[in-house]
Structures are given as C-alpha cells and as structure tokens.
Structure 1
Amino acid sequence: MYLIDSHCHLDDYDNLPQVLANAREAGVAKLLAIGIGDGPDTMHRALNLAREHEQIFASAGIHPQEAHQATPEHLAKLASLVEDPRCIAVGEIGLDYYHLDNPDIATQHAAFVAQMKIAVAVRKPILIHCRTSELAIPAAKQKYEPADAWEDLLSLIAEHWTPSGLPGIMHCFSGNEDQAARSLAAGFYLSFAGNLTYPKSTTIQAVAKSAPADRILVETDAPFLAPIPLRGQTNEPANVAHTARYLAGLRGASYEEVAAQTTKNFYELFPPTRGIE
C-alpha cells in the first residue's frame, strides 16, 4: 500500500536526495512535481527532475502571480515542454486575487485562457490554483474592484475548458461546498493538502468528508502548508501521509482505504503513470 503526492514543488529543496528517501520510507511511491519554478524561465526544472527520477512526474505552467510573464515566447516554451511524455499536466494555472501586487485581473484571465488552450491542444489535464481575496483592503488602495476568483475561474473553465471533455485537479482545494460541486460537475478532482488538518479549516473539512470517493486526491504542496502536527515546519512529500490519515478520519474510512482510493484516482486521471513503481 502506498501514496501519491499529487502536488509538490521539488525544485525548492537543496537536499532533494534526502527528501526523496524520506518519501519512500513513508510509503510515498510517486510524486507530481509542479513546474512553475521561479517564473516561466525556470518552469523546465520539474521536467528535468522527472527525466532523472522514475518516481517523479512533472507539470509545467505559468502561475497566476506570474501572469504578466505569459508572453508569446514563454507560452511557446510551455507548449514545447508539455509535449514531453514525462510532463503529464499543465499547471499550476488559474487565478489569484489575494495580493495587491498580483497582476491585474485581465492579465490573469488572459494567461489562464492561453494555458488552457495549450492543454487542450496536447490533451492533458490542468492543475488549478484559485485563491480569492480575504483582505479588507481600503477602496482607495485597491488596484481593482473586489472580485470573486472562484466565480471568474469557474466561468472561464465553462467557456474554455469544459467543452474539451478533459479533466483536471483543483489543487489544494480551499473552496466551499457549492464551489466543490461545480468543480466536480466540470470534471475536476479535488486535491486536499495539509491545511485540511488545521482547526479553522471547517469548510474544507466538510467538503472532504462528503466528496465522491472516486474524485479525491491528496497532496502536500511542499515545501508549503505542513500538516498538523508539523505546521510551521518546512513541508515535504513524506508528510502527505498525515493528510491522508486525517482525511480517512473525516470520511470514516481506514488509512489503507484512502491510500488505495487516492492512488487509483491518480491513475485514472494520469494513465501514463500507472505501473511505474
């Protein structure tokens, strides 16, 4: 019985051999390394790791916080990277309205749509990042009018992604039950990270408890979002086991059942990864 970490940032580690050894010891057999790097110029790093390590697969994408860098040159580079069979998804992509210094909404929308089109062209899933504003920002200091990232995201998905019939992942799902239902209806899997274990994450916990078994995944988002009891520490893929155990408790299932189900779901979503141990 083993786990798959469906979202981690492996190029952030100086001690990657030890991180991978820790993952193996914890029963984490495969990892999806997210290829956003420090921006579009470094989004190839995850694919390089996937070429070097059989247990690693990669994605590539331009994060919404870097949407202003979604130039024709960088989009062409992305289109080339995702042709590689070791690159199994486009992402993480989406919308992030949280910070005042993020690219404006129109720029984020354009980058998101352009990358969805690339994913449709290569027939590969997308990995979605969605974070809405939670800040009480005085109107005089706002770069743009307050907006709901989830509403915009789901609208763009309906227009530019759903017609393709392709699936995707709502990475580090942090929405409510309505947003979960709409994501599921659009063909997405819900991936739960370490923040699922936090005491104040009651909305996410309610979603995780009732989500269809065949549409759930677990992830770390390492080196970020370490789960309880490691919150505040540098996260790593081995810790996905903590999230899986917590998810099992929420759902009234055994750890083994959650491990088996989330692994099966990952294989359904990414058939090329099946059978490579």
Structure 2
Amino acid sequence: MLVDSHCHLDFPDFDGERDALVARAHEAGIGVMVTICTRVRKFDQVLAVAEAHDSVYCSVGTHPHNADEELDVTVEDLVRLSAHPKVVAIGEAGLDYFYDKAPRAAQAQGFRTHIAAARATGLPLVIHARSADEDMAAILEEEMGKGAFPAVLHCFSSGRDLALKGVELGLYVSFSGILTFRNSEDIRAVARELPADRLLVETDAPYLAPQPKRGKRNEPAYTAYTAAVLAETRGVSVEEIAEQTTENFFRLFSKVPRPAA
C-alpha cells in the first residue's frame, strides 16, 4: 500500500469525478489520501470530500498565498476545527518567497499561528516552503525551542541544508512528482541522503504530475510513479519504499486509523 500524503481533492479540477478518482487511486494501490486545506474559510468544502470517502482524510489551515486574508484565524479556531475525526493535520502553512502573493510578515505570522496549533493538538503541521530556506530554518529552530511539534516539509523542492535541518528538528520530508523530473537531480540527491524513516510521498494533485504524466492533471493514483523513482534513487525495491513511506505516514499522521489488512 502507498499513501498520498498531500493532495487537493476539493479543487474544481476534480468536480464531477471524485468517486472515480478515488477508485483509480485504490486500483493503483493508494490506500489513504489526505486532502489539504488552503483556506480555513473553505474548510467545509475540504471536510465534505473527506467525509464522503472512507479512505480520504483532511487538514485545516491557510496556505501562505492566502495568509493576509486569514490573519484573524486563531490558534483556538484551528484547534476547534481539528477536533473532527476526519481532520488529521494542520496546514498547509509556511513561507513562499517565489510568488510572494502575501506580505512576508503576514506569511510568518500565519505560519507561527499554525505551529502553535500543531503544538497544542499534536497533529502534524504540513509545511509549504518555497524559496525561503533561511527564514524557514530560522523560524522552525526558534519555534522548536518553545516546544516540539510534529511536521512535514511537503513537496520538497528546497535546498539540502533545509532538509537536513528539518530532519535534525524531527521533521519528515515529502517528495512529489518533482522528484521524477529530468532536471531534478539536486532533489534526488537530497532524497538519497535522508534517513529512510523520515520519507513520505505525495502528489500535490492537481499539480506537478510525475513523469510519464507530466503536463497532465495530477491525481492520487500517480503517487505510484513518484514512489518508483524514489525507490530507484535510493537503490531499493518499490515494495520497500511503499512499506517504509506508509509506516512513516502512520507514525506522523497518528490520528489516521490503519486500514484493515
């Protein structure tokens, strides 16, 4: 079994075919999917997708692109919403200096709010980090000093130093279809170096479809392509990567019940 630890099944790209999408994922060996919230104000839509499918769970949070729109969302709000049985993570939140769609101060403020919620609930924080390695590492180190919290650097595309700092602080690192791109040798080098017990796989669907589906709409079934490249990169079998990343997922996302054998 594989797990798609990060997708966006509430997005309109999937309107009218979510049942078929989930069925295709199951056929491809994907046993669990986590659909990730990007705006607390649209959380009800995310939760509805999770509630409609036994194998789909969700998070609650505000993407850094939308940070300035939801600075009124409090730690207490996130804690309250995360009490639902289907909510298994906080986020995604973080820093994105590539697009800079929200002021950096707002991104940092929102990020720290989500960290506090992860610390309070014990649920993993799903971290978005793009072109912000130094500030991300500094905030993570400072906040860990206030009290530990579980977290994953999702859709990893940052530098080696951030990956190693994340692992040092107890974080997990998740790889998406970017790992399969021909020009992603730097990312594969990071994936090769990290401890096996910190690795996850994801799609970030509908974005970033892996080879050989690149350029098409991504979907959870395609997690298998990324897992295959991760196995090749690390010189192990696909079965070993599936077993390891799935075990890692359930250790981090501890609120998700393991499917019956």
The superposition leaves residues 204-242 of structure 1 with CA deviations (integer Å, 9 ceiling, x where unpaired) of 100111211110000000010000000000000000000
Pairing 1:51–2:51 present:
yes
Which residue is 2:20 aligned to? 18
CA contact (8 A) 1:35 1:44 kept: no
Which runs of 5 or more residues in structure 1 are unaligned?
133-148
Which residue is 1:127 aligned to? 126
Pairing 1:42–2:42 present:
yes
Pairing 1:157–2:156 present:
no
Moved more, 102-111 or 159-168: 159-168
CA RMSD of aligned residues (A): 1.5
CA contact (8 A) 2:250 2:258 kept: no
Which residue is 2:78 aligned to? 78
Q: Distance in 1 between matches of 2:147 and 2:259?
A: 28
Which residue is 2:114 aligned to? 115
State the secondary structure of the residue aligned to 1:231: coil
Superposed displacement of residue 77, structure 1: 4.0
Stretches (4+) displaced over 6 A: none
Which runs of 5 or more residues in structure 2 are unaligned?
none
CA contact (8 A) 1:218 1:262 kept: yes
- Work out the percentage of aligned pairs sharing the same amino acid: 40
Which residue is 1:140 aligned to? none
Amino acid at match of 1:46: V
Distance 1:171 1:264, change over 3 A: same
Superposed displacement of residue 74, structure 1: 6.6
Amino acid at match of 2:55: Q
Moved more, 80-89 or 10-19: 80-89
Distance 1:90 1:111, change over 3 A: same
State the secondary structure of the residue aligned to 1:275: coil
Distance 1:114 1:73, change over 3 A: closer
TM-score normalised by the chain length of structure 1 = 0.88
Which residue is 1:261 aligned to? 244
Moved more, 71-80 or 44-53: 71-80
Structure number with larger C-alpha Rg: 1
Which residue is 1:31 aligned to? 33
CA contact (8 A) 2:58 2:89 kept: yes
TM-score normalised by the chain length of structure 2 = 0.94
Which residue is 2:64 aligned to? 64
CA contact (8 A) 1:172 1:219 kept: yes
The superposition leaves residues 42-72 of structure 1 with CA deviations (integer Å, 9 ceiling, x where unpaired) of 0232222222222111111100000101232
Q: Distance in 1 between matches of 2:149 and 2:40?
A: 24
